[in-house]
Homo-oligomer: A and B are copies of this chain.
Amino acid sequence: MRVIMASNASARDVGEVVRIAHEETGEPHRVEVAALNGRLVVSIRGPGPAVDPGVFASMSGVESVEDAEPVYRLAGTGQVAGDERSLVKAVVELPDIGVAIGAEAFVVMAGPCAVEDEDDLLTTAKAARAAGARLLRGGAFKPRTSPYSFQGLGEEGLSMLARVRAETGIGVVTEAMEPAAVERVAQVADIIQIGSRNMQNFPLLREVGRQRKPALLKRGMSSTLEEWLGAAEYVLSEGNPNVILCERGIRTFSKHSRHTLDIGVVPAIRERSGLPVVVDPSHATGSSSRVPPMAKAALAAGADGLLVEIHPEPSRALSDGFQTLSLEEFATLMNDLRRIASAVGRTL
């Protein structure tokens, strides 16, 4: 919100607006006074529900109040109902499979990058389930840099996911790439993934916000936290209260791994939003040998879960084989994670 002072406002008027601005807003807010075109402007910024502009409109020396809504409001509270200002941690419930994301349990979602073969998918789902994973990840629709690359099996891939889900009881997380596909993906998926490239595909976000399945919103490759929470807000503001954030590596100058996994965003989110956050170490590092250390780091830093690529035979995977764990490597990782989970007060 910006309170524009009249050109003949007294210093006392300004001081009073500043004082009230501090009184009316909680700690994370910032109150700044700047000179703009010869007038003083008091700007008030912060994550939570905005201050009532009426408070200022009638004060002495105030010319006008611009009630700029904050970039995000629902994402900043972790609550979609009620109007408390405090940062309550949101829990995304998946009652069909008895899973809660954002609660005590660390939730692992594992599977192939792209759904390719039903036998492999079934083998993967059973092994993932046995090792402790609660959801099967796998793309039926794949966004690819080149139009000539494998784009996923599409509808056939969705059907495979549905059958494997029915047979094993594991949950499914899979991507929707355009508004027109959301309804069909929602029939199969327990969680609808929104990919990095689509983090600011606003028509898609709105469409996902209009249905009931939770969304897993991957961070854009160069998105700030504010933009990410703004994107979550598009889903939340349409009425879907269930958004899970997913950190998957950012673009930096650094070249030792494919992207730079920004583990530090996990505690940063905790200070600004109640939404659950999971981490994808597979896409971030691009190398299977780096996945286990980064998975452990994510858990230790406070993430609520993981998205991990696994495959019965990684070298056969059509997409992203280098970063994929074998089923055995995954089982070993899960055991290691279980010990750390216990050390940090979580279950797995």
Contact = CB atoms under 8 A, between A and B. Distances in A.
B177 A178 contact: no
Interface in A25-39: 30-35, 37
B267 A294 contact: yes
12 contacts: A145-B226, A145-B227, A146-B230, A147-B230, A225-B255, A250-B253, A252-B252, A252-B253, A252-B262, A256-B268, A267-B294, A342-B343
B299 A300 contact: yes
B263 A254 contact: no
Most B CB atoms within 10 A — which of A37, A227, A231, A252?
Answer: A252
Most B CB atoms within 10 A — which of A69, A72, A251, A264?
Answer: A264
Taking the full assembly, how many copies of this chain does it contain? 4
A286 to B, nearest CB: 10
Given A40-B22, A260-B252, A31 B31 contact: no
Contacts of A68: 148-149
A240 to B, nearest CB: 12
A51 B302 CA distance: 45
A253 B256 contact: no
A300 B293 contact: yes
A46 to B, nearest CB: 12
A163 interface: no
A200 B142 CA distance: 12
B180 A179 contact: yes
Contacts of A178: 178-179, 201, 203-204
A69 to B, nearest CB: 3
B70 A148 contact: yes
Interface string A59-82: 000000000111111000000000
Contacts of A179: 178, 180
Interface string A266-295: 111001000000000000110001100110
Interface string A295-327: 011111110000000000001000000000000
A285 B197 CA distance: 24
Nearest to A14: B15
A147 B230 CA distance: 7
Contacts of A204: 178
A148 to B, nearest CB: 3
Nearest to A73: B148
Contacts of A203: 177-178, 180
Contacts of A343: 339-340, 342-343
Contacts of A256: 224-225, 264-265, 268
A89 to B, nearest CB: 15
Interface stretch (A5-13, A101-109, A126-134, A166-174): A5-13
Given A15-B18, A224-B256, A267 B251 contact: no
A169 to B, nearest CB: 30
